[in-house]
Amino acid sequence: GENVEQHPSTLSVQEGDSAVIKCTYSDSASNYFPWYKQELGKRPQLIIDIRSNVGEKKDQRIAVTLNKTAKHFSLHITETQPEDSAVYFCAASQGGNKLVFGAGTILRVKS
Partner 1 sequence: GAVVSQHPSWVICKSGTSVKIECRSLDFQATTMFWYRQFPKQSLMLMATSNEGSKATYEQGVEKDKFLINHASLTLSTLTVTSAHPEDSSFYICSARGGGSSGNTIYFGEGSWLTVV
How many Cβ atoms are within 10 Å of 38's Cβ, its own excluded? 14
| SS3 at position 91 | strand
* Residue from 19, 99, 107, 109 in contact with partner 1 (CB under 8 A): 99
Q: Report in angstroms how near the CB of residue 4 gets to partner 1 at its nearest.
A: 9
Q: Report in angstroms how near the CB of residue 101 gets to partner 1 at its nearest.
A: 5
102 in Cβ contact with 7 (< 8 Å): no
Q: Report in angstroms how near the CB of residue 62 gets to partner 1 at its nearest.
A: 16
Q: Which is nearer to partner 1, 10 or 18 (CB)?
A: 10
Q: Report in angstroms how near the CB of residue 93 gets to partner 1 at its nearest.
A: 8
Distance CA 78, CA 60 (A): 9
**Window 7 to 66, contacts with partner 1 (CB under 8 A):** 32, 34, 36, 41-46, 49, 51
Phi, psi of 54 (to 5 degrees): -130, 160
Query: How far apart are the two ends of the chain, measured CA to CA in Å?
Result: 41
Q: Give residues in contact with partner 1 (CB under 8 A).
A: 32, 34, 36, 41-46, 49, 51, 89, 93, 95-104
